[in-house]
Chain A
Amino acid sequence: MFIITLTYRLIILFFTTLVILDMFKEEDIWNQLTSVFVIIPFVLRLFMIK
């Protein structure tokens, strides 16, 4: 269980970082906004709050 959780959180951290980096490259504001809606649940999950 601990290994699975750790792996899962590392995967979330990886994808959260990718999404944030992509936000800075993205020219379309609507796509940037979409990234925000992905980041919010990812961060809550990363810290195992929800």
Chain B
Amino acid sequence: MKKNEKIAIFLLIFAAFVIVAAGLEFVDQWKPDLIIPGPSVTRTARLSDYFPKLKGEYCDTTIYFLESGEPGGTVMVLGGTHPNEPSSLLSAVLLIENAVVTQGRIIVIPQANLSGFSHNDPQEASPRKIHFETAGGGVRVFRYGSRATNPIHQWPDPDIYINQFGQSLSGSETRNLNRGYPGDPEGNYTEQICYGIMEVIRQEASDLSIDLHEASPEYPVINAIVAHERAIDLASIAVLDLQMEDLDYSLEISPPSFRGLTHREWGDYSDTLAILMETANASQGRIRGKTDEALVLTGKDKMYVKAAELGRLYVPYDENGHPIEERVGRHLTATKMLVENMNMLWPEQAVVYHGVPDYYELMEQGYGNYLLPSL
């Protein structure tokens, strides 16, 4: 055997080691997150129960029903539309594991784009997982995913994505769950997930539907509630109540011409009151420094402090950052305000629940304290 052939064999063995090591890391990201049903969870369903075409697909996410058994309304909370916006998943998890519903029901989909949790974005240096110590001393782990559907589930991206309304978007937006509504049963993988979620809203007759998000601190719509025009009165009252709790929110009306988003299409294609909420997440920003788990959990970043000093941000930013407790606390407190005001405006469709920590409790006790311990 020639020398170069021996080297080739050696290099192939080396490549095999790298492929196995990298492959195991990537495959590990496919494993599901542990979400423990809390005291009010009466049953779970899958997205394919509402749109059977998704049965057997990775995206067939779990839906949790928190039912009181008492007549009332239905509220749906959606987390994980964008899996690189962790406060959305983490808020949904606290609802599932803590809420005690005494009237009406709450439907929670914590990982709307489950495919997006199975990978993360190349060249972003994002952590793959985030960890929390629970009150019992155990550790709970959640995936930090990508903004978009995994390309192993949907590919190739077109050069230009033309959505169902004929609007042109960049090609990668074809895998963005929050551009594909109201969904299309014959559309691409992401549009089919959108269709499935629309079917949940329609078949379960959700009265109020809330889509949880995060945004980079340089994005104008942040610490904000975006409401469909039919939900704007409700959102306005909630924003006033939140300000009385010292939580500043801006209120945006869903732009009628910005199509494919939850706050527009949920409201246009069903009877639900559609709301989207945003908090500040430095780990998805463009001017962040070192990207690691600490940045995701604390939001502390010198670059953003400097940007705030220069007046370039839409949220206050200092050396204390924006910790995950603040971001989850905002989502949960705002959700509570929206539900309470819905109850005031439409008492016949009231949803009453307790047991979920608010902003101040989370800031004091920490996020992990409210997670159920893993067995």
Contacts and interface: CB of A to CB of B under 8 A. Distances in A.
A14 interface: no
Contacts of B152: 48-50
Interface string A27-50: 101001101100110011001111
Contacts of A40: 15, 18-19, 22
A12 B155 CA distance: 15
Interface string B153-175: 00110000000000000000000
A13 interface: no
Contact of A49 (B4, B12, B27): B27
Nearest to B151: A50
A2 interface: no
B15 A39 contact: yes
Interface residues of B, number: 18
A50 B15 contact: no
A32 B7 contact: yes
Contacts of A4: 156
A35 B7 CA distance: 12
Nearest to A24: B8
Nearest to B16: A43
A32 to B, nearest CB: 6
Interface string B1-27: 000110110011011001100110011
B19 to A, nearest CB: 5
B7 A36 contact: no
Contacts of B19: 40, 43-44
A49 B11 contact: no
B8 A32 contact: yes
Interface string A1-31: 0001100000000000000100111110100
Contacts of B179: none
Contacts of A33: 11
Contacts of B119: 50
Contact of A36 (B4, B15, B22, B26): B15
Given A44-B22, A47-B23, A49-B27, A24 B11 contact: no
A37 B27 CA distance: 20
A28 B329 CA distance: 60
Contacts of B23: 44, 47, 49-50
A29 B15 CA distance: 15
A5 B26 CA distance: 20
B11 A36 contact: yes
Contacts of B12: 20, 23, 36, 39
Contacts of A44: 19, 22-23, 26
Given A40-B19, A49-B152, A32 B26 contact: no
B26 A49 contact: yes
A29 B14 CA distance: 14
A26 B19 CA distance: 22
Given A36-B11, A36-B14, A40-B19, 20 more contacts: A20-B12, A23-B8, A23-B11, A27-B4, A29-B7, A32-B8, A32-B11, A33-B11, A35-B11, A36-B12, A36-B15, A39-B15, A40-B15, A40-B18, A40-B22, A43-B19, A44-B22, A48-B152, A50-B22, A50-B152
Interface of A: 4-5, 20, 23-27, 29, 32-33, 35-36, 39-40, 43-44, 47-50
